[in-house]
A and B are shown apart, each in its own frame.
Chain A
Amino acid sequence: MTESKIYFKFDGKKYAGNQGDTIAAALLRNNVRLIGRSFKYHRPRGIYTCGIEEPNALVQIINEHNEPNVRATVKKIYEGMIVKSQNRWPSLKTDLGSINNILSPIFSAGFYYKTFMGPKGFWKNVYEPLIRRTAGLGKPPKEFKSKSIHQHHNIDVIIVGGGLSGLLAARKFAGTNYDVLLVEREDTLGGVLKNADKIKFINDQPADEWLEKTERLIRNSNNIKILKNTLVTTYNFSDHLIALEDKNVGKPQDNEKPEFVLHKIRTNHTILANGHIERFITFRNNDLPGVMLAASFEKYLNRYGVVPDESPVIFTNNSSTFSLLKSLTDLGHKPKAYVDIRDQKNIEKETVDLLEKFNIPFYPKSEIEGCEGQKEVKKVSIRTKKNQISKIKTSMLCVSGGFNPDIHLFTQSKGLLKWDETLLTFKPDRIFQKTITLGSVSGNFSYEKLLVEVEKKLSKFEGLNELEVKFELNGPEKFQIKELWETKHEKKSLWSKSFIDLQNDVTTKDLRQAVNEGFNRIEHLKRFTTNSMGTDQGKISSINALGIVSKILKKDISEVGTTTYRPPYSPVNFSAIAGRSTYEFYDPERKTPLHSWHIRQKAVFENVGQWKRPWYFKKSEDETMHQAVQREAEQVRKTAGILDGSTLGKIEIKGKDALTFVNLMYTNSFTKMKPKTGRYALMLGEDGMVKDDGIVCKINDQHFIVTTTTGNAASVLAHMEEYAQTEWPNLNVYMNSITEQFATFNLSGPKSRVIMSRVFNDIDFSNDKFPFMSFDNFKYLDTEIRILRASFTGELGYEIYVPPSHALKLWQKIFIYSRDFDLVPYGTETMHLLRAEKGYIIVGQDTDGTVTPLDLNLNWMIGKKKKDFIGKRSLTRTDIIRETRKQLVGLVPVDKTLGIEEGQHVIEQKDLSLPIKDPIDMLGHVTSSYFSPNLNHSVAMALIRGGKRKIGSRLFVSTENLNTIAVEVVEPNFIDPKNERMIL
């Protein structure tokens, strides 16, 4: 077979690989063993596995996304790919961080918790930056636009895993009425059939031929969809699974096409056929490049045609390594030695025969004590059955410590596990959801029994196909294993280590130390040592850790239990999670009908909820925000200003019982209120705290329109709906949001009446005909507008409600008619300043959910004669009427040139010099503060303890440094306390 070569770069050097190679396969093809440096000790690390379980071979892909921590054993190469090793400096071969390995006695379990305790400030400024530089993995990507999409499925059956068991299940469903999804994480179906040479014939055909026919049959059935390169990461409640499909396998990024598809699958039945994972054995220096799991080695031979080493040493505690032995000898290679911890009489005849036939040195009842070598394995040291150490030169050691059913997804589904004494592993016991486990994930390691299992577990489905499958195996059928988690080994030097978690550099010594220090619960022990907390989640090692810990604690493994398996099964890219919800699609942006005008007038925008609101308008390029706000605020009180208030929430309330309902929702009384008038109203929660404010306009007793604050529009409507539906369903009342049906202009200032009279020359705006807080509807062109006389600035003011289609023209018309008066458009910042001068509150700025109307001096808004309204009873609770509650007051600096900062503390003490011995009593905090151009000094509002009784006294406000500002406590009403400007 001639294949075209694919060229890629690893750490600057060019290598050639074959089509379909993973980075690891291609590097092994080129005899590259050293791939990266470890997390903590910076030890040299190589390729340990051949799949998703890889703890060591993490690399960085250099491209637009700069993907870090990519498993070299999963990611396929493409032409021109640039790969870099991680966590090393200055280079992979000479890494200065490896000094940590010599210093390792101080890096033991709980090192971070114990070491970096002080002095104050050191964590933030010294330790953390230092640790971040030396520890850790790859570099995070730069900002980029996600090209991932989400896809939803509603199906009958999902089959997770396209190996032999998954294929048999799919074969049963092919052509039936069930809607089935078959999900395979690799780019080909077959699983172990492709990885190892365990099965000679299926139904008298070579395994590959059977596989091809089966896939064709499944593909041609119209009820099964096959997803390849798709990893199921999550198994949620209600049989909801999440799977990640990689659309760029073996291809460079394509900015036009989606890179990942996140499949969200809702299914009726989940068939888990996701197989097993081989585990390792701990010995001295079991992390050296050149140590590899046996089944992974075999996978490189069979799937990629790569021979990682022609004469490795094989070390096992079970019967599965026969097939590796067979695959190697079939290729004409001869292993250096075969080391099995079992007695010769327990080792399968097939294996012994093969060893004898090829004259391979055989060490029964022996174990690997350790490995020697600096950057890769040079020698292994074998403890023979006579307890003698025998050293063999080799550059590779294949290890098999047994197999774990891949129970991650099963436990995510909240199924229970049990310990299997013969397989020496946890396997599924009781299901919680509609889960079926098939094959090795269920703990069935026997091909002969597989068909029986499939037939039995799928018997509840009706109308499935009959299946006849006959296997002819190459090796021993029965799986045999002897317990071994860690071999006996001696510490040779500071450099010698025996790892239990390769990615997080956790040693078996750390486990012992943690238990000694009292962390004898597995969940605590995991967090203290960081065992199995890497990106690989301890896939090849976590059960080994349980085995070792159970020995230390002298408990059964099932008593030790497992740690909790949580989604995702393996890391999921943020870009896949985000999908299309990024940048402009992250959250809807709402713009008022006047937005284009604002842009033309150089508005600087502020986000208020989802709305874009003008914050202030820049008159010239070099005008600062402060200058603009001062100019706008001054002009409003001098002549007139206009604000785009379209974002205000507007709710229409109708129904026979509308009056009763509005009386219950708001504190004020609306019963005696005349039609066509409005009222400033407060909405409370049942706890008596201010929830929202707005203006309630009464058209008649059956019809109201209320406004809400911009940010609370949705929650106020929801609050009303809740009470209408759950508490008072007997009331005949309906409400609807009309926020977007009207644009709102707030015209304000001494000249606003004359402007209004010019714009609407047929309407009489005199105080008698159009008094404060009255409104009416008027014909305007082909539509109707509503004008309300109200004010949030303390000046004479009008609110105009106009359908959005007419908004821009009317807005421009107002400017044309106000040329003589220098009408100024103003933004939210000026609105805040003007209302603060009047002492008007902003819900959410001057209140925070712990503030009652009484605290705000708004007693006059409470309809005390009303029998009930939401929150009324709470206003007479003992805690609410307490005089020492925090209450709203005004603050004016004694030195009028000083400014007060929002959020600063109000205190009684002037001196704040260090050292501060006793805690300083905080009376409250500054909620609003502005420099008033109309008063020419700062004005502020604050919530302070017992504030009402403190009016007239002198207090202090803290500042950024240790100074304080002396302030006078005043009524929160700085301009025109008698409201003469507003109601004239």
Chain B
Amino acid sequence: MFTIRCPYCGERDQSEFSNGGEAHVARPKDPEQISDREWSEYVFIRANPKGIYYERWVHTHGCKKWFNAVRNTSTDEILKVYKMGEAPPPLKEFKNTIKTPSGEPDVGSGNFSVKKP
């Protein structure tokens, strides 16, 4: 149970929010003009990385506003929160939190309680 800083209401408990999946997946402007494959990629295919993830949240039990967040999926750290329509912060802003190629940080992922030095 982590907390999220709603850009409209401030820091609140996670239980007040609902996750809306990957952010910045634009709905195709002219759906009729694209192939089945391109359309189904928009409808069904989402990234699922271990590490930095740009995702949408909605303050369901609050102001009901949608916003974007950057979260480290292996530690559940919310690294940044920004409003809909604002440009996404560049990935390099968060580079330091990724320690291994798979995106797993040294401490906090909970996969191992003991690490070899």
Interface residues in chain A, defined as those with a beta carbon under 8 Å from any beta carbon in chain B: 236-238, 240, 266, 411, 414-419, 426, 430-432, 558-559, 561-562, 564-565, 686-687, 718, 721-722, 725-727, 729, 867-868, 872-874, 877-878
Contact = CB atoms under 8 A, between A and B. Distances in A.
Contacts of B64: 718, 721
B108 A877 contact: no
A725 B84 contact: yes
B113 A722 contact: no
Contact of B40 (A236, A419, A426, A877): A877
13 contacts: A238-B3, A411-B113, A414-B109, A414-B110, A416-B107, A417-B113, A430-B107, A432-B108, A564-B113, A686-B43, A721-B66, A722-B66, A877-B39
B95 interface: no
Contact of B58 (A558, A562, A722, A873): A722
A30 B40 CA distance: 75
A417 B43 contact: no
A687 B44 contact: yes
A718 B60 contact: yes
Contacts of A561: 112-114
B101 interface: no
B116 A558 contact: yes
A4 to B, nearest CB: 45
Interface in B61-116: 64-66, 75-76, 84-85, 106-110, 112-116
A726 B66 contact: yes
Given A558-B114, A562-B113, 11 more contacts: A237-B76, A414-B75, A414-B107, A416-B113, A561-B114, A686-B43, A687-B44, A718-B58, A721-B66, A872-B31, A874-B43
A725 B60 contact: no
Contacts of A416: 106-107, 112-115
B65 to A, nearest CB: 7
Nearest to A431: B107
Contacts of A417: 113-114
A238 B1 contact: yes
Contacts of B107: 414-416, 430-432
Interface string B3-31: 10000000001100000100000011001
In the complex, which of the residues B1, B34, B42, B116 has the most CB atoms of chain A within 10 Å of its own CB atom? Answer: B1
B113 A237 contact: no
A907 to B, nearest CB: 31
B5 to A, nearest CB: 11
A56 B74 CA distance: 38
The CB with the most chain B CB atoms within 10 A, among A266, A411, A432, is that of A432
A727 B1 CA distance: 29
A874 B114 contact: no
A725 B66 CA distance: 7
Nearest to A563: B113
Interface residues of B, number: 38
A868 B31 contact: yes
Nearest to B20: A722
Nearest to B26: A727
Nearest to B32: A873
Nearest to A687: B43
Contacts of A562: 113-114
Nearest to B76: A237
A414 B85 contact: no
A430 B39 contact: no
Contact of B1 (A237, A729, A877): A237
Given A238-B3, A726-B84, A565 B113 contact: yes
B75 A432 contact: yes
Contacts of A414: 75, 107-110
A193 to B, nearest CB: 30
B110 to A, nearest CB: 5
B1 A236 contact: yes
Contacts of B58: 718, 721-722
Contacts of B20: 722, 726
Contacts of A727: 27
Contacts of B36: 877-878
A441 B52 CA distance: 33
A-B interface, 6 closest residue pairs, ranked by CB to CB distance from nearest: A873-B31, A432-B108, A238-B2, A237-B2, A725-B66, A561-B114
A24 to B, nearest CB: 31
A419 B110 CA distance: 17
Contacts of A432: 75, 107-108
Contacts of B106: 416, 430
A519 to B, nearest CB: 18
A240 B108 contact: no
B93 to A, nearest CB: 21
A426 B43 CA distance: 48
Nearest to B56: A726
A265 B76 CA distance: 19
Contacts of B116: 558-559
Contacts of A418: 114, 117
A404 to B, nearest CB: 13
A721 B28 CA distance: 19
A275 B44 CA distance: 50
A874 B75 contact: no
B80 to A, nearest CB: 16
B1 A725 contact: no
Contacts of B2: 236-238, 240
